[in-house]
Structure 1
Amino acid sequence: MSTQTLATPTTPADRRTAVNIALWAVQILLAAFLLIASAAPKFAGQRDAVETFQQIGWGQWLRYLTGVCEAAGAIGLLIPRLATPAAIGLIGLMIGAVLTQLLVLAPAWALLPASYGVLFAIIAWYRRDGFRALVNRLRR
């Protein structure tokens, strides 16, 4: 009788496959978070979202713009060739969120968007080949 053990990837192809699967899992979870927990409350006018953007002081138009950027970024994360530009755009959004937390809201909460920004940077880096293919296709 043979026992099966959990094998670790040993070849470069196995490692790439494992990284690809893990990255897709992260992208799907981030997209779900952005759509359900972040953009939807902004669109629905949830009290916390409205109050937060009142504290920021730029008006409620920024709440809608932020929600649109989050929703577009979430959708882009799920489309292979758009994952890199979506992640780059979301990095920009997270930079704005970090600055807003540090300068206006609660500085301790700046770590959360900073962490998301790191994840988006990892996604942008690992998905860059798909974006290159898209750019090359558009150049033809």
Structure 2
Amino acid sequence: MEILTYILQGILVLIFVFAGFGKVMGFKAHMEAFNHLRLPQWFRIVTGIVELAGAALLIVGYWASTFATAGALIFAITGVGGILSHIRVKDSLKDTAMITFLTILAVVVFIYYV
């Protein structure tokens, strides 16, 4: 089970490093997504920083599990916020599927370390 958890951590790290970097740097796709979700652009930057911090915690979590627990919890909370944002603008299940999947992965990693 430990190897599977390390793989899930790696998946979360890769996805959230790219997503967080894109949000902080102001990539067009992320700017449009936040406009679609009717969220302010400053919140995009805050979200990107939170995602990068969570990824850093998961990386350190390979050596100290407490950090992985914190990183996974950050991603789970961020994911729930993302899901609620999609529900608020009445996005389809298809549009909400990726953040739902990532939230489930984060919850699995969190539960493993708790």
Superposed pair shares fold, TM > 0.5: yes
State the secondary structure of the residue aligned to 2:47. Answer: helix
Please show how residues 1-140 of structure 1 align to structure 2 within 5 Å: 19-36=1-18, 38-80=19-61, 81-104=66-89, 106-108=91-93, 109-128=95-114
Q: Distance in 2 between matches of 1:72 and 1:65?
A: 11
Instruction: Give TM-score scaled by structure 2 length.
Output: 0.86
Describe the superposition over 1:72-114 as per-residue Cα deviations: whole angstroms up to 9, x where unpaired: 1111112222111111111110011111112226232222212
CA RMSD between the two structures: 1.4
Distance 2:30 2:97 in 1: 19
CA contact (8 A) 1:99 1:110 kept: no
CA offsets 1:43-85 (integer angstroms, 9 cap, x no match): 1211111112122333111100110111111111122221111
Normalised TM-score (structure 1) = 0.71
Structure 2 unmatched runs, 5+: none
- Tell me the amino acid that sits aligned with residue 46 of structure 1: F
Q: Distance in 2 between matches of 1:79 and 1:125?
A: 17
Higher relative contact order (CA 8 A, sep 6+): 2
Unaligned runs of 5+ in 1: 1-18, 129-140
* Ranges of 4+ aligned residues in structure 1 off by more than 4 Å: none
Q: Is the 8 A contact 2:37 2:86 kept in 1?
A: no
Q: Which amino acid aligns with 1:113?
A: I
Question: What SS class does the counterpart of residue 102 from structure 1 fall into?
Answer: helix
Aligned residues: 109
